[in-house]
Amino acid sequence: MKFNNPITVGDLAKKVNGKVIGNSATLITGLNEIHRVEKGDVTFCDNSKYIKAAINSAASVILINEACEAPKGKSLIVVQKPFQTFSDLSKELRGDYHSTASVDPSAKVGSTTRLFPGVVIGKGVTIGEHCIIHPNVTIYDGCTIGNNVIIHSGTVIGADAFYYQRTPNGYNKLHSSGTVRIDDNVEIGAGCTIDRGVTSETMIGAGTKIDNMVQIGHDTVIGRNCLFASQVGIAGVVTVEDDVILWGQVGVQKDLTIGKGAVVLGQSGLAKSLEGGITYFGSPVREAREKMKELALIKQLPDIIRELRG
């Protein structure tokens, strides 16, 4: 997420009552959580396990709760609660998105697009031409929908990311200030949920088709011409390359990549990245033919045991 105007590290430190370690004149141009940071961004780290990842990331500035030496080319801002400070900044950047109108006056909807009864469209939404938005679809503020997109009844686009910090007193929520972008010629089934990015975009590539009851987590990037069957669940910060097929009830863990042209058969569970151009099956997932052989061998185990016992 980019600032309207760049701000120096020193000015940001004053704003959040923090102490600068490093160059206070460095310009900050954006705000992003660790998985989507770019040069010029500020990110946060409040757990010693992730300090190395934060320092080695592309971020120019890190909100941190422990004073340490600033790496070359980076600045640190020491604050008491980096998670909360980052969340407050994110909330401020997103601004007020409350609206009482079914279709907010600030939304831009193509003249050839059809909106059915019960559709709710938030502030700053852009919808292209020749789209069909079926009854009771909700599109939260700031989302962008391309041309020739079909969204079926009951789908929610742009709900908050499922992103919490666990504390002894419960869970602190990281405010979601990102958005969702859906490219041209996408069709999304009924009852789907596509969460907004935490500070970046959740993206659905052109030509992708999504069945009913599919969940796509925050900051996930879906490529072009993918096909997802019903009850697929994809966690946050996943990259799905072009032409991937996920059949029914496939579950995908966070922060991994599925290569171009991969096919994952129904009820499989993905815990690591997959190479493209291969068909997979199982939980944990393996190349489908090898997994089928393994299951066939497992079925023979009772007979083998009986033979060994004589």
Spatial contact of 123 and 103, defined as CB atoms under 8 Å apart: no
**pTM of this structure:** 0.89
- Running DSSP on this structure, what letter comes out for residue 300? H
Does residue 196 belong to any structural domain of this protein? yes
Q: Are residues 258 and 137 in the same domain?
A: yes
Does residue 251 belong to any structural domain of this protein? yes
Ranges in the chain, pLDDT < 70: 310
Does residue 306 belong to any structural domain of this protein? no
Query: For residues 116 and 57, what is the distance between their CA atoms, to the nearest angstrom?
Result: 45
Residue 257's pLDDT is what? Answer: 98
Q: Are residues 137 and 285 in the same domain?
A: yes
Q: Given 94, 127, 146, which residue is the final one in a domain?
A: 94
Q: Are residues 148 and 264 in the same domain?
A: yes
Q: Are residues 270 and 194 in the same domain?
A: yes
Spatial contact of 121 and 142, defined as CB atoms under 8 Å apart: no
Q: Are residues 271 and 129 in the same domain?
A: yes
CATH of the domain at 136: 2.160.10.10
Nearest to 296 by CA among 282, 278, 279: 282
**Tally of domains within the chain:** 2
* Strands laid side by side in the 156-159 sheet: 120-121, 138-139, 156-159, 193-195, 215-216, 233-234, 251-252, 269-270
Task: Tally Cβ neighbours within 10 Å of residue 78.
Answer: 17
**Which two structure tokens, joined as six digits, stand for 254?**
């966070």
- DSSP states of 38-61 as a string? -TTEEEEE-SGGGHHHHHTSS-SE
Q: Given 94, 120, 142, which residue is the final one in a domain?
A: 94
Q: Are residues 81 and 165 in the same domain?
A: no
Does residue 147 belong to any structural domain of this protein? yes
Residues β-bridged to residue 75 = 61
Q: Which residue has the tokens 């032409």?
A: 243
Q: Are residues 279 and 146 in the same domain?
A: yes
Does residue 22 belong to any structural domain of this protein? yes
Strands 201-204 and 164-167 come out as unpaired
Distance, C-alpha 33 to centroid of its chain: 11
Spatial contact of 193 and 159, defined as CB atoms under 8 Å apart: yes
Rounded alpha-carbon distances, angstroms, from residue 186 to 63, 130, 223, 296: 38, 12, 11, 39
Q: Are residues 280 and 138 in the same domain?
A: yes
Query: For residues 40 and 61, what is the distance between their CA atoms, to the nearest angstrom?
Result: 7
CATH of the domain at 66: 3.40.1390.10
Positions annotated as catalytic residues are 218
Q: Are residues 198 and 285 in the same domain?
A: yes
Range of the domain at 141: 108-289
Does residue 177 belong to any structural domain of this protein? yes
Q: Which residue has the tokens 């989507």?
A: 36
Spatial contact of 159 and 142, defined as CB atoms under 8 Å apart: no
Residue 302's pLDDT is what? Answer: 82
1 CB-near residues (< 8 Å, 6+ apart): 30, 31, 32, 90, 93, 94, 177, 178, 199, 200
Q: Are residues 86 and 133 in the same domain?
A: no
Query: For residues 119 and 267, what is the distance between their CA atoms, to the nearest angstrom?
Result: 32
Q: Given 94, 124, 155, which residue is the final one in a domain?
A: 94
Q: Are residues 116 and 75 in the same domain?
A: no
Both ends of the chain: CA-CA distance in Å?
69
Query: For residues 162 and 218, what is the distance between their CA atoms, to the nearest angstrom?
Result: 7
Query: For residues 223 and 102, what is the distance between their CA atoms, to the nearest angstrom?
Result: 31
Does residue 299 belong to any structural domain of this protein? no
Kindly report, residue by residue over 121-166, the tens digit of the pLDDT: 999 999 999 999 999 999 999 999 999 999 999 999 999 999 999 9
Query: For residues 70 and 169, what is the distance between their CA atoms, to the nearest angstrom?
Result: 32
Does residue 303 belong to any structural domain of this protein? no
Q: Which residue has the tokens 């120096």?
A: 8
Q: Are residues 142 and 188 in the same domain?
A: yes
Task: Tally Cβ neighbours within 10 Å of residue 165.
Answer: 16
The residue type found at 63 is L
Query: For residues 197 and 297, what is the distance between their CA atoms, to the nearest angstrom?
Result: 44
Residue 310's pLDDT is what? Answer: 65
